[in-house]
Structure 1
Amino acid sequence: MAVLPPVSVDTLLADRAPALPAVLQLPSGDVVLRSLLRFMPERRAIFSGERADGTAVIIKVFSDATRSRQEFDAEKKRLAILQARKVAATRVIAEASFPGGAVLLLSHLGEQSAKDCLSQGKEKNVGIALQLVALTAEMHDRGLIQKDIHLNNFMRYRDDWHVIDAGAIECQESSITGSKALENLSLLLAQFPPLSLPVASDVAKAYGDRFSSREISQNLARVRRKRLRSLVKKSLRDCTEFQRVERGVLAGMCRREDLTAVEALLAEGVDASLLQGECLKDGNSATVWRAAPGAETVVIKRYNLKSLTKRLARQFRSRARNSWMNAAFLNLVHVSTPRALCWLSEKQGPFVGREYLVCANVNGKMLPELCEQGGVEREQALKQMADFFATMLLMRFSHGDSKYTNFLFVEGELQVIDLDGMVRFAGQNLEKDLASQRRRLFESWRPRESLAPAAMKEFDDFYQARLKTIESWL
């Protein structure tokens, strides 16, 4: 067996991509670090690994900065409080301090976070939501509140939910009540796929009927808007998920996981890839082509400057950037769209020139084709379209152009495309706008026009049925 290299705390905190696996030497025994779970520059890093006896552990590494030392002390203190107040949580196995920082060794509670469990079906999601609402009520009763509450901070271990990331827990002697408790409960509910929540009355009951269904519903809508605005803005700055890219006159944002593919595209030249690719649309306002600059085939949309008026408008509003942010928004509201790898803007002196949006290539079928085929595929496609429109109503956004060509069914799953005209936070006319878009979905089905009336009626039946399941949240 190969001998793994030792690594220092300083090294682990210096790079988002450390060489792993590696050995961290602690007074309590060596620990093998296998994978990086989270990295906060100059503050802390979290790894999974195991001790010499094979016991799986979580390794939290803190820098020697004042703030990090405070976080190290707070984590230990709050884990002790959780244990004293009988809330199931990860436990401290060992700790160590070094000249360059400190380390906490925590029990590993497995790989099943609440977020990981959500993909197992709506019925299961309802159960998870009610269980976590009840656990949150229990924590509030015991004077505990997760300030940064999210689904990755709850782990399923031996059939019970456990709390992790104790550093983000606030402790007080009295119970958490009133607006502070309602805000925290709403933030928990905002993490769930919007169509998968239990009815509001069941949520109120699981929390102990301390808030009415109406209070919970109204506050959730407000918290959702605030949360979405904040998280969408993260797509425009360096963070765990996104990274700024620059090469020559081009600059923009990419997904950190797609950096290698984006760098390959930039090295080849974005426009040069058109010569080797397949042109899908060559218009005045936009040119679209399919290319394979690396291992993955992508679709590139170039936003052209067809007139002086368009050039002037580009200085104030970027369609490419808006589409990039819209893709991030759809991911947050659990609507599938082809993965946006990057958004790029061309600088021409002090002015913005052409822009680019690069997305993963997907191949699928459109709604008229599936309706012609009939059977289960037709029914599932119409149900998914109904769910998409219900999601737009509930989450208060509008696609803007719901012609059938903007929806692809990839292996039976809906993918929403062409996000240029999407409005993320719609106004009072949303209901009227969505009614128009529902009609638009079934227009111009040439040569399958005869299928549209029956499909529209069945779609509307599914849509009305879906609205009944979410009416307590509308």
Structure 2
Amino acid sequence: MEIAEEESLEKIEITEILRIVPQKRFIAIANWRGSNVIVKLFFGPLHWKRNLAKDISGITLLRERNLRTPSLLHNALTAGNNGAALIMQYLSDGKTLTECMQNAVTSQERHSLLSLATRSIATCHRFGLRQIDVHMDNFLLSDKEVYYLDGGQIQVQGESLEEELAYDNFALFLAQFKVENDEAIGDLLHEYHLENKTCSAPVYADILRRVKRARNLRLINYEKKLLRSTTANRNIRSLDKFAVYDREIHSPLLEDFISDPNRYIVKDKLMKDGNASTVAELFLDGKGYVLKRYNFRSLWHSIKYQFKPSRAARSWCNASILSMLGVYTPRPYLFIEERFAGFLKHKAYFLAEKIEAVNLWELTEKEEFSTAELSKITDSFRKLFNIMIDYKISHGDMKATNFIFYEDKLLVLDLDAMKRHGSKRSFYRAIQKDLDRFMKNWRESPHEEEFRKVIDELKLPAEPNF
């Protein structure tokens, strides 16, 4: 890579790419003038000048308030003047709080990191600053000190942040975590108030309401990215297919699979062979997966799905949404839509993690199935149903065979009929249908009473006036 220096060009050697935001920027470790540095390259057409200015402004705002941020060493245009580079201090021992969370072993370690982030956010607010899209990657831990990253996200709102803005911004941060983390909100509010007394003591119920609202907005924004190329996923568009896959499984064999997935469905590995779908086990690069091929039953069935997302695409999106909320489901790795002329849909395929366990129906039918295990299962369903109610989610096919209880976790399967509802009316009908179908599994079974208790304890939405 080359940057412009007066009338000459200066080389920067990129050694490791850290992050790519397609058509906007990338961040990398590089060698510049004999030293390791961080390079942030802005190249998005029309917007790179504005994004560069915002980043420099944010860094300046932080440094003016003596808040730690990696030093800005240099900025320059790229060769050709169609982009710009920010060259910043590289903290070799630094890890983002996201990386620290991934490496944390105990719940206490994870809570300590959340407390550290909470205090950092509160300090920002005390100085009148907020990060527009605040998350754990915006903080770097180096030599036991927290550094603020991503100056482009920094906005100033006076000497101290107004209470409404401060609490909404803090709720936005909390909303990025799984629902189970909401149990820690009370402790984190205490940490926040210790660091920022310019706001009145936050009320738990008020913050929880803001978190749920922010999480719903995050889900909407997240859904928009699920079919695009991102740091985590890659999409492929051509005249004969549309596919999105997890970059983690990229390999030459995967490319061959994408070119002809049907060839990987072999008779002796079939798990189901029906009119609507075919399910088979397969192995790629030594790892086991489940492949589901969605078939068109008739011409009318084919026409209907030309005007809506394929069932494979819905399964991909819904699995990702459930994972974001903290609901377990076999990890989604890929979906493919076969197309004619670039837009007419044909067969579709969904590839997911293979879970080596029996489904819930088979588990509960075993002689050795215990009361203790039933208690764990009913507790898991209680949590699942509450998430569904809070975020207006219906499953669409609550057969017991569509669940697996494995390693003390409840996994939800068969997500192509799952839906997030925009209205109370449609959700009320759908959740009632889900719960009725769920209880049908246990009618006249030894477990009916325990599952009925779970349903009876739920705080269901009031029936709307139809």
Shorter-chain TM-score range:
0.7 to 0.9
1:197 partner SS: helix
Residue equivalent to 1:16: none
Q: Deviations over 1:149-205 (max 9, x none)?
A: 112112344445432222221134432215433432221121121121246665555
Q: What is the CA distance between 1:128 and its match in structure 2?
A: 4.7
Residue equivalent to 1:15: none
Q: Deviations over 1:315-344 (max 9, x none)?
A: 222322222221221122122322222222
The verdict on how the C-alpha distance between 1:158 and 1:277 changes in structure 2, with shifts beyond 3 A counting, is: farther
Residue equivalent to 2:55: 75
Residue equivalent to 1:456: 451
1:192 partner SS: coil
Whether the 8 Å contact between 1:398 and 1:426 is mirrored in structure 2 is no
Q: What is the CA distance between 1:147 and its match in structure 2?
A: 1.2
Aligned match for 1:341, one of 333, 336, 360: 333
Distance in 2 (alpha carbons) for counterparts of 1:443 and 1:62: 56
1:292 aligned to 2:283?
Answer: yes
Residue equivalent to 1:255: 246
Residue equivalent to 1:3: none
Residue equivalent to 1:168: 153
Residue equivalent to 1:117: 101
Residue equivalent to 2:26: 45
Residue equivalent to 1:315: 306
Whether the 8 Å contact between 2:130 and 2:154 is mirrored in structure 1 is yes
Aligned match for 2:69, one of 90, 95, 111: 90
Residue equivalent to 2:350: 357
Q: 5 Å matches for 1:59-458?
A: 59-62=39-42, 67-68=47-48, 71-72=51-52, 74-87=54-67, 89-92=68-71, 94-95=73-74, 97=76, 99-100=78-79, 101-108=84-91, 110-114=94-98, 116-117=100-101, 120=105, 128-129=113-114, 131-198=116-183, 205=190, 206-207=192-193, 208-209=199-200, 212-246=203-237, 249-260=240-251, 262-267=254-259, 269-275=260-266, 278-292=269-283, 294-317=285-308, 318-348=310-340, 351-367=344-360, 372-374=368-370, 379-425=375-421, 427-428=423-424, 430=427, 434=431, 437=434, 440-441=437-438, 443-444=440-441, 451-453=446-448, 455-456=450-451
Q: 1:39 is matched by which residue type in structure 2?
A: I
The verdict on how the C-alpha distance between 1:127 and 1:209 changes in structure 2, with shifts beyond 3 A counting, is: farther
Q: What is the CA distance between 1:234 and its match in structure 2?
A: 0.8
Distance in 1 (alpha carbons) for counterparts of 2:399 and 2:222: 28
Whether the 8 Å contact between 2:14 and 2:28 is mirrored in structure 1 is no
Whether the 8 Å contact between 1:400 and 1:421 is mirrored in structure 2 is yes
Whether the 8 Å contact between 1:247 and 1:266 is mirrored in structure 2 is no
Please provide the CA RMSD for this pair. Answer: 3.8
1:347 partner SS: strand
Q: What is the CA distance between 1:144 and its match in structure 2?
A: 0.9
* Unmatched runs of 5 consecutive residues or more in structure 1: 1-7, 11-23, 468-474
Residue equivalent to 1:18: none
Distance in 2 (alpha carbons) for counterparts of 1:250 and 1:39: 25
The 10-residue stretch of structure 1 (397-406 or 71-80) with the greater mean CA deviation from structure 2: 71-80
Whether the 8 Å contact between 2:72 and 2:86 is mirrored in structure 1 is no
Whether the 8 Å contact between 1:151 and 1:191 is mirrored in structure 2 is no
Q: 1:94 is matched by which residue type in structure 2?
A: L
The verdict on how the C-alpha distance between 1:106 and 1:336 changes in structure 2, with shifts beyond 3 A counting, is: farther
The verdict on how the C-alpha distance between 1:155 and 1:391 changes in structure 2, with shifts beyond 3 A counting, is: farther
Q: Deviations over 1:218-264 (max 9, x none)?
A: 33333222221111121122332332224662223223334435422
Distance in 2 (alpha carbons) for counterparts of 1:68 and 1:83: 23
Q: 1:142 is matched by which residue type in structure 2?
A: F
1:327 partner SS: helix
1:289 partner SS: strand
Distance in 1 (alpha carbons) for counterparts of 2:390 and 2:53: 42
Q: 2:311 is matched by which residue type in structure 1?
A: R
Distance in 2 (alpha carbons) for counterparts of 1:96 and 1:281: 59
Whether the 8 Å contact between 2:276 and 2:297 is mirrored in structure 1 is yes
Aligned length: 434
Distance in 2 (alpha carbons) for counterparts of 1:202 and 1:141: 19
2:424 partner SS: coil
Whether the 8 Å contact between 1:142 and 1:175 is mirrored in structure 2 is yes
1:135 partner SS: helix
Distance in 1 (alpha carbons) for counterparts of 2:276 and 2:49: 54
Distance in 2 (alpha carbons) for counterparts of 1:424 and 1:252: 23
The verdict on how the C-alpha distance between 1:459 and 1:173 changes in structure 2, with shifts beyond 3 A counting, is: closer
Q: Deviations over 1:339-398 (max 9, x none)?
A: 222222233456322222222322223345655443865554443333222322233312
The verdict on how the C-alpha distance between 1:291 and 1:419 changes in structure 2, with shifts beyond 3 A counting, is: same
Percent identity for Structure 1 against Structure 2: 25
1:36 aligned to 2:20?
Answer: no
Distance in 1 (alpha carbons) for counterparts of 2:185 and 2:283: 47
The verdict on how the C-alpha distance between 1:56 and 1:334 changes in structure 2, with shifts beyond 3 A counting, is: farther
Q: What is the CA distance between 1:272 and its match in structure 2?
A: 2.1
Q: What is the CA distance between 1:111 and its match in structure 2?
A: 2.6
Whether the 8 Å contact between 1:114 and 1:156 is mirrored in structure 2 is no
Q: Deviations over 1:111-164 (max 9, x none)?
A: 351474276566665555455344323212212110121121123444454322
Q: Deviations over 1:76-133 (max 9, x none)?
A: 453343233133x332173364652434132425335147427656666555545534
The verdict on how the C-alpha distance between 1:298 and 1:157 changes in structure 2, with shifts beyond 3 A counting, is: same
* Unmatched runs of 5 consecutive residues or more in structure 2: 4-9, 194-198, 460-466
Q: 2:128 is matched by which residue type in structure 1?
A: G
Whether the 8 Å contact between 1:397 and 1:426 is mirrored in structure 2 is no
Distance in 1 (alpha carbons) for counterparts of 2:44 and 2:361: 61
Whether the 8 Å contact between 2:234 and 2:247 is mirrored in structure 1 is yes
Distance in 2 (alpha carbons) for counterparts of 1:337 and 1:394: 19
Distance in 1 (alpha carbons) for counterparts of 2:214 and 2:228: 22
Distance in 2 (alpha carbons) for counterparts of 1:457 and 1:65: 58
The verdict on how the C-alpha distance between 1:390 and 1:51 changes in structure 2, with shifts beyond 3 A counting, is: farther
